[in-house]
């Protein structure tokens, strides 16, 4: 049985009892930074429930010594219930450490003492986040309790006082407890203090978990919710104004944002929360990528499905050409060669390399390939050689649509794989501004 427990679907207390190994104990320590509130003079209900649960399960003797460790200046209902606690045979104590420090730990410790050994026999410990309150230990999160977590374990090397043997640990050093007279609290030295304040939720659950970015031709875009979202909500722009809608989604002026503010009404209150945006490449809250030169494209695709190298490959020292630093090339003889004279050859070489790589891919890698291909080619949209093709009035991507340049499972747009591929080429053609140009036959 796992030691770790949480209160998402079940309260902590029964899970704690279930994990205590069988055997009766004659000592129980309970400690918490907060207890239940109220002015009742009866036993605090949660500590009483703990004792009852352990006794009913045969894990505690009827006349066990029970210590309740509290913060004297803020122990809630314990302060007014001291008489009932004494009648039950319990003792209220301050933590066994520096009295200027407040107790924040939440713990339960049970063990058996036979008076003949320093060993804490049959010892068990609960350490966790749940205070000894109803929301902390007796309710699970789905019915109004707190979402708490903890561990239950059975240490086998604990002793009651200072260890007299190697490897033993004093329980008074392991937990903030002690039993000397100075730790016992009298009625006049306790104060209820304030109840635990209700904390607002750290995060509101918006009606839409994310928004997907759809590029528009004018450089702006649309923010589209998932198809299964029907709740009413609004998206606020950077100035706090509500974004308009059309049949595609919410209109966003500017480039793809990392995240946006969503507003909605819940229980007659206006709520706002930030949600991530998934960009056109499927990246969540992703920053803009740096443009790449056409000559870098293949180095980013060649090793697929492995990720691209962090560092770009260094150019060959003896390749016969030297970059002039402006996108053109200079021969070793020193005469400048225009980008346009190399555009067709270089782009067609890249098309052939892409075709050879993708026709050998496994179908399981196809979606990732289309994402990598589209993203990489779009980043090269500003390259001078692409501009040269635009000047020629030709679409250099059109050969990639031909059946011989495609794997069998994506040979045409009649299959999901083929449709994804053609949509990828459509986006790249728009980014390269060649989607309306004459097709270049393969």
The answer to the question of residue 204 being in a domain is no
Minimum mean pLDDT among 92-96, 107-111, 166-170, 192-196: which range? 192-196
Q: What letters, b where the CB count within 10 A reaches 16 and e where it falls short, cover 261-295? A: bbbbeeeeeeeebebbbbbbbebeeeeeeeebebb
Are residues 351 and 269 located together in one domain of the fold? Answer: no
Query: Is the pLDDT assigned to residue 336 strictly greater than 60?
Result: no
Taking the C-alpha atoms of residue 426 and residue 400, their distance in angstroms, rounded to an integer, is 11
Query: Is the pLDDT assigned to residue 40 strictly greater than 80?
Result: no
For residue 235 the two structure tokens come to: 């998206």
Query: Is the pLDDT assigned to residue 220 strictly greater than 60?
Result: yes
The per-residue pLDDT for range 21-34, each reduced to its tens digit, is 999 999 999 999 88
Are residues 116 and 80 located together in one domain of the fold? Answer: yes
Domain holding 90: CATH number? 3.30.870
Q: Which residue has the higher pLDDT, 321 or 229?
A: 229
Query: Is the pLDDT assigned to residue 334 strictly greater than 60?
Result: no
Local confidence band at 53 (pLDDT 50, 70, 90 cut-offs): very high
Are residues 263 and 300 located together in one domain of the fold? Answer: no
Percent of the residues in the chain that have a pLDDT greater than 70, as a whole number: 88
For the chain, the domain total comes to 3
The per-residue pLDDT for range 227-269, each reduced to its tens digit, is 878 788 999 998 899 999 988 889 998 888 999 999 999 888 8
Are residues 362 and 403 located together in one domain of the fold? Answer: yes
**In this predicted structure, what is the pLDDT of residue 387?**
85
Local confidence band at 315 (pLDDT 50, 70, 90 cut-offs): very low
Q: Which of 216, 242, 210, 240 is nearest to 228 (CA)?
A: 210
For residue 148 the two structure tokens come to: 């708490």
**In this predicted structure, what is the pLDDT of residue 201?**
67
Q: What angle do CA 239, 244, 249 make, to 5 degrees?
A: 115
Are residues 380 and 234 located together in one domain of the fold? Answer: no
The answer to the question of residue 200 being in a domain is no
Query: Residue 58: what are its φ and ψ, rounded to 5°?
Result: 70, 25
The answer to the question of residue 63 being in a domain is yes
The answer to the question of residue 220 being in a domain is yes
How crowded is the C-beta side of 73, counted as CA atoms within 13 Å? 6
**In this predicted structure, what is the pLDDT of residue 218?**
66
Query: Is the pLDDT assigned to residue 425 strictly greater than 60?
Result: yes
Are residues 234 and 354 located together in one domain of the fold? Answer: no
Are residues 220 and 334 located together in one domain of the fold? Answer: no
**In this predicted structure, what is the pLDDT of residue 329?**
36
Three-state DSSP at 424 gives helix
**Among 236, 252, 278, residue at a domain's last position:** 278
Minimum mean pLDDT among 233-247, 288-302, 361-375: which range? 288-302
**In this predicted structure, what is the pLDDT of residue 331?**
33
Q: In the predicted model, what is the mean pLDDT of residues 391-403?
A: 89
Q: What angle do CA 222, 228, 229 make, to 5 degrees?
A: 65
Q: Which of 279, 283, 281 is nearest to 221 (CA)?
A: 279
The per-residue pLDDT for range 65-123, each reduced to its tens digit, is 999 999 888 888 888 888 899 999 999 999 987 777 888 899 999 999 988 888 999 99
Cis peptide before 168 (omega within 30 of 0): no
The answer to the question of residue 144 being in a domain is yes
Percentages helix, strand, coil for the chain (3-state, rounded to 5) are 30, 20, 50
Mean pLDDT over the full length of the chain: 85
Q: In the predicted model, what is the mean pLDDT of residues 332-338?
A: 37
**Among 189, 221, 243, residue at a domain's last position:** 189
The per-residue pLDDT for range 302-311, each reduced to its tens digit, is 888 887 765 5
Are residues 246 and 298 located together in one domain of the fold? Answer: no
**In this predicted structure, what is the pLDDT of residue 171?**
93
Are residues 377 and 434 located together in one domain of the fold? Answer: yes
Are residues 108 and 47 located together in one domain of the fold? Answer: yes
The answer to the question of residue 133 being in a domain is yes
Query: Is the pLDDT assigned to residue 197 strictly greater than 70?
Result: no
The per-residue pLDDT for range 54-66, each reduced to its tens digit, is 999 999 999 999 9
Query: Is the pLDDT assigned to residue 389 strictly greater than 50?
Result: yes
Most trustworthy range by pLDDT among 108-112, 172-176, 316-320: 108-112
Are residues 216 and 89 located together in one domain of the fold? Answer: no
For residue 347 the two structure tokens come to: 């782009």
The per-residue pLDDT for range 126-155, each reduced to its tens digit, is 999 999 999 999 999 888 889 999 999 999
What residues contact 386, with CB distance under 8 A and at least 6 apart? 294, 343, 347, 380, 396, 432, 434
The answer to the question of residue 198 being in a domain is no
Are residues 311 and 274 located together in one domain of the fold? Answer: no
Local confidence band at 167 (pLDDT 50, 70, 90 cut-offs): confident
**In this predicted structure, what is the pLDDT of residue 200?**
63
The answer to the question of residue 301 being in a domain is yes
**In this predicted structure, what is the pLDDT of residue 39?**
66
**Among 278, 304, 325, residue at a domain's last position:** 278
Domain region containing 112? 4-189
């Amino acid at each position: 049985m796992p030691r770790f427990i949480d209160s998402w679907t079940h309260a902590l207390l029964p899970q704690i009892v279930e994990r205590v190994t069988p055997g009766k104990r004659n000592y129980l320590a309970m400690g918490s930074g907060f207890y239940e509130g109220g002015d009742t003079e009866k036993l605090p209900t949660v500590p009483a429930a703990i004792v009852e649960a352990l006794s009913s399960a045969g894990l505690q003797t009827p006349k066990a010594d029970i210590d309740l460790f509290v913060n004297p200046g803020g122990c809630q209902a314990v302060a007014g219930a001291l008489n009932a606690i004494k009648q039950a045979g319990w003792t209220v104590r301050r933590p066994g450490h520096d009295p200027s420090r407040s107790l924040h730990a939440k713990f339960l410790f049970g063990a058996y003492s036979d008076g003949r050994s320093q060993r804490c026999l049959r010892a068990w410990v609960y350490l966790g986040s749940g205070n000894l309150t109803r929301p902390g230990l007796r309710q699970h999160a789905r019915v109004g309790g707190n979402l708490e977590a903890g561990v239950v374990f059975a240490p086998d090397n604990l002793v009651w006082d200072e260890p007299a043997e190697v490897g033993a640990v004093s329980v008074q050093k392991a937990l903030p407890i002690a039993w000397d007279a100075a730790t016992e609290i009298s009625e006049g030295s306790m104060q209820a203090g304030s109840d635990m304040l209700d904390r607002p939720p750290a995060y509101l659950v918006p009606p839409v978990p994310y928004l997907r970015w759809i590029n528009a031709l004018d450089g702006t875009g649309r923010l589209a919710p998932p198809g299964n979202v029907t709740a009413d909500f609004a998206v606020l722009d950077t100035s706090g104004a509500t974004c308009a809608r059309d049949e595609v989604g919410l209109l966003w002026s500017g480039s793809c944002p990392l995240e946006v503010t969503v507003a909605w009404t819940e229980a007659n209150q206006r709520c706002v929360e930030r949600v991530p945006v998934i960009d056109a490449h499927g990246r969540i809250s992703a920053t803009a990528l740096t443009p790449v030169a056409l000559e870098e494209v293949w180095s980013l695709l060649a090793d697929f499905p492995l990720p691209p190298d962090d560092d770009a490959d260094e150019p060959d020292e003896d390749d016969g050409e030297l970059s002039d630093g402006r996108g053109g090339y200079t021969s070793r003889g020193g005469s400048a060669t225009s980008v346009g004279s190399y555009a067709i050859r270089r782009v067609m070489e890249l098309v052939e390399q892409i075709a050879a790589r993708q026709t050998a891919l496994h179908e399981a890698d196809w979606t990732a390939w289309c994402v990598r291909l589209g993203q990489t080619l779009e980043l090269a949209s500003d390259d001078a050689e692409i501009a040269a093709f635009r000047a020629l009035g030709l679409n250099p991507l059109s050969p990639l649509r031909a059946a011989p340049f495609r794997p069998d499972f994506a040979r045409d747009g009649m299959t999901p794989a083929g449709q994804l591929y053609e949509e990828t080429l459509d986006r790249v053609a728009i980014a390269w501004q060649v989607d309306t140009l004459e097709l270049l036959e393969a």
